[in-house]
Structure 1
Amino acid sequence: MTLPGPLNPPPRLLMGPGPIDADPRVLRAMSAPLVGQYDPFMTHAMNEVQELYRRVFVSSYQETLLVDSTARGAIEAALVSVLEPGDRVLVPVMGRFGHLLVEIAQRCGAEVHTVQIEWGQIAPYELIADAMAKVQPKLLAVVHGDTSTTVVQPFDGLAELCARYGTLLYADVTASIGGNEFLTEEWGVDIATGGLQKCLGGPSGSAPATFSPRAVGIINSRKSIEAGIRAEGDAVAAHPIRSNYFDMSMVFDYWSERRLNHHTEATTMLYAAREAARIVLEEGLEAFQARHLLHGRAMLAGVQGLGLEVFGDLEHKMTNIVGVVIPDGVDGEAVRGRMLQDFGIEIGTSFGPLQGKVWRIGTMGFNARQDAVLTTLAALEAVLRREGFGLPAGGGVDEAYRVYAEAAA
């Protein structure tokens, strides 16, 4: 067998819904030497990560940590650790990732109820309130920002609803954390899980998460006993958590001062997560979010300046991604292929009912910057012209420049 050559990925500008180009400072951090999982440097770094992500989540919750997984693994870890067979769950489904929450909750044995919303729209508070009154669920699970539709769901009033029915509030903030306002504790969110590969500007493979004391109490009540390892007096749960790797009660112990062995922490990904959060907070969380808003506005204006239709509820659009309706007669995949081949720029398609109908263009993390926005708009115009679609010459770049000029005035 002939060995493959050295790994040499092509240069790309990743302007899709994620992953995006990791910040070079994050990549440099990932090249740092490994240490043992109980080395004082390592445990100190873990403590630093916890404090950094409390500030990113705007949460004082003690159990703020990393799940060694992609963002989807953190969603599963949260749900499998909270939900027992037969528990009622309510999920507003507004896009692809609402369906994902439904699937994972069903796999946990939960009785899942949904509020079905047209893709591209938010779930109105009144519909959620009516469903909450009928279902009275143990868990309300909401996608904060769904990249499949580019829409961000308001959380106004959800904490009060959950308090009324004794319901836990879970938020999937994979695509929104960092680049969009999210106030975990102030909004009464009990569990929030994210990912590095979008606004936070890191690689996929580590998932920050935060858990309220109430959520921790419910999870720890389901603690299973490992003979000879668990502390004396730990109770045996009637319905122990069905996963070992995603048993958050054990992960909490691993991240605590007890440092009870669970898995071997993914050292390089911890370095990445630490640096990603440090970069956000060095810029300042509000300034970081304002940068996403500015470049998202410029991309939106640029797309409209090209005469393209924007998908979804613009009043509730995420700062970091724009949905573009693929014009009639244009081969959306051919455009994406030409963007990649000729310009080295990746933009995304979408899922389900939007497959082949919408492009998704991201401006997030390290790529939320002027040169990336202008280059993408210029390339999109050039490719669409080659596909025979008439466009206003330079309209996209001109409109983006207008946004930048107004912001600088």
Structure 2
Amino acid sequence: MGPGPITVHPRVLQAMSAQLTGQYDPFMTATMAETQALYREVFVTANEATLLVDGTSRAGIEAALVSLVEPGDRVLVPRFGRFGHLLVEIAERCGAEVHVIDVPWGQVFAPEAIEAAVREVRPKVLAVVHGDTSTTVAQPLDALGAICREHDVLLYCDTTASLGGNAFLTDAWGLDAVSAGLQKCLGGPSGSAPVTLSPRAVEVIESRKSIEAGIRSPGDPVRADRIRSNYFDLGQVLDYWGPKRLNHHTEATTMLYGARECARVLLEEGLDASVARHRLHGDAMLAGVQGLGLTPFGDLAHRMTNVVGVEIPDGVVGDAVRAELLEDYGIEIGTSFGPLHGRVWRIGTMGYNARRDAVLTTLAALEAVLRRHGVAVPTAGGTEAAQGVYRAAA
């Protein structure tokens, strides 16, 4: 019940037990094409360039940035949590001139603040996290696409922590590049990063190809703006997933099966229904921790549906509570990073764990452990408050 990775959906585990096939077997290429179509629905996009990057969600972030950003390009990152700092580091490693704006952790940016920074910096790429689990808040994105179009800026978004459990509209919001991961609301394991790219983004990536198919012979010139990664070169990865079937790398077949099943499970439920489920159980968890007398962290108006931040009570050693929950009850909750380390717990309700029984069991266990640590909590205060949310929704 932490901020991810989470318990994998049983159907995904079952799908991942299937036998491997050769990467050019017709079944394999058909599975890749099917997975691309499924993730167009998940991302709510018409982008032809929708695929998987083999690697954890960070691989998707790095592939997007290293493929879009050339040395010397300006990149603007609005930071409101740990993963904004990650975008800065990766962009700097791409050779970018990185500019940042900051708000205190637990808050988000007004669109006007981001637009003012775009006007001042004139970046090539605006790189933003959607939901940052380190702070449990989600940055509104709906106004950013128009801002970026007006100023001819590419808009990249990391939606690892939010996709599938929070509303996300790639095309309607004008996003140019989006990457995600399976291990949060999608209910899968870490190890595959869905990515979607707008035609504008693809044009930039294709313009950086130095030679056909990315195959360099001795004596071939190397352009200064050539993508500085082979594995994460989305120009080559697009050719691998497209009709050229470039022999770029050996596809991670088991992860492909898992990613496909994650999308199938989500789309069978329905995107709106999944968001509503995450909101319901997230609201119940929020009410439950408040019913225990705990203080939620962050701007609740912009809270992610799938994770609740909780301020650790005075005098309580947060890691000791977490250790007892895990050892005695088999329940994991998260700590936090940076300025919030030791101050905040993060309790997830995401993917397969966005369920009533998981919420109520977690609250009952947390009540028992807190009482052992000397915190005066109302008897059944957490579970009764959560049940009130469920009764109101019935």
Normalising by structure 1, report the TM-score: 0.94
Contact residue 139 and residue 168 of structure 1 kept, 8 A: yes
Of the structure 1 ranges 235-244 and 208-217, higher mean CA displacement relative to structure 2 is found in 235-244
Q: Which amino acid counterpart does residue 48 of structure 1 have in structure 2?
A: E
Instruction: Find the aligned partners of 1:134 and 1:52 in 2 and give their Cα distance.
Output: 39
Contact residue 223 and residue 236 of structure 1 kept, 8 A: no
Aligned to 2:141: 155
Aligned to 1:80: 66
Aligned to 2:23: 37
CA distances 1:231-263 after superposition (whole Å, capped 9, x unpaired): xxx997441000000000000000001101101
- Which of 206, 220, 223 pairs up with 1:220? 206
Structure 1 residues 308-347: aligned runs within 5 Å: 308-347=294-333
- Which of 281, 285, 288 pairs up with 1:295? 281
Q: Which amino acid counterpart does residue 324 of structure 2 have in structure 1?
A: R
Structure 1 residues 5-404: aligned runs within 5 Å: 15-225=1-211, 229=215, 237-404=223-390
Q: Which amino acid counterpart does residue 119 of structure 1 have in structure 2?
A: W
Instruction: Find the aligned partners of 1:47 and 1:157 in 2 and give their Cα distance.
Output: 32
Of the structure 1 ranges 221-230 and 310-319, higher mean CA displacement relative to structure 2 is found in 221-230
Q: CA deviation at 1:156?
A: 2.9
**Secondary structure at the residue paired with 2:87?**
helix
Contact residue 213 and residue 246 of structure 2 kept, 8 A: no
Q: Which amino acid counterpart does residue 368 of structure 1 have in structure 2?
A: A
Q: CA deviation at 1:163?
A: 1.1
Q: Which amino acid counterpart does residue 384 of structure 1 have in structure 2?
A: L
Q: Which amino acid counterpart does residue 51 of structure 1 have in structure 2?
A: A
Instruction: Find the aligned partners of 1:78 and 1:383 in 2 and give their Cα distance.
Output: 43
Q: Which amino acid counterpart does residue 336 of structure 2 have in structure 1?
A: S
Gaps of 5+ in 2: none
Q: Which amino acid counterpart does residue 37 of structure 2 have in structure 1?
A: E
Instruction: Find the aligned partners of 1:106 and 1:146 in 2 and give their Cα distance.
Output: 20
Q: Which amino acid counterpart does residue 230 of structure 2 have in structure 1?
A: N
Identity %: 69
Q: Which amino acid counterpart does residue 25 of structure 2 have in structure 1?
A: D
Q: CA deviation at 1:223?
A: 1.2
Q: CA deviation at 1:157?
A: 1.8
Contact residue 196 and residue 273 of structure 1 kept, 8 A: yes
Aligned to 1:6: none
Instruction: Find the aligned partners of 1:359 and 1:42 in 2 and give their Cα distance.
Output: 42
CA distances 1:177-228 after superposition (whole Å, capped 9, x unpaired): 0000000000000000000000000000001010001100101111133789
Contact residue 223 and residue 235 of structure 1 kept, 8 A: no
Q: Which amino acid counterpart does residue 370 of structure 1 have in structure 2?
A: R
Q: CA deviation at 1:134?
A: 0.5
Aligned to 1:12: none
Instruction: Find the aligned partners of 1:198 and 1:317 in 2 and give their Cα distance.
Output: 16
Instruction: Find the aligned partners of 2:200 and 2:213 in 1 and give their Cα distance.
Output: 27
CA-based RMSD of the aligned residues comes to: 1.4
Between the two proteins, the alignment pairs up a number of residues equal to 391
Instruction: Find the aligned partners of 1:142 and 1:57 in 2 and give their Cα distance.
Output: 16
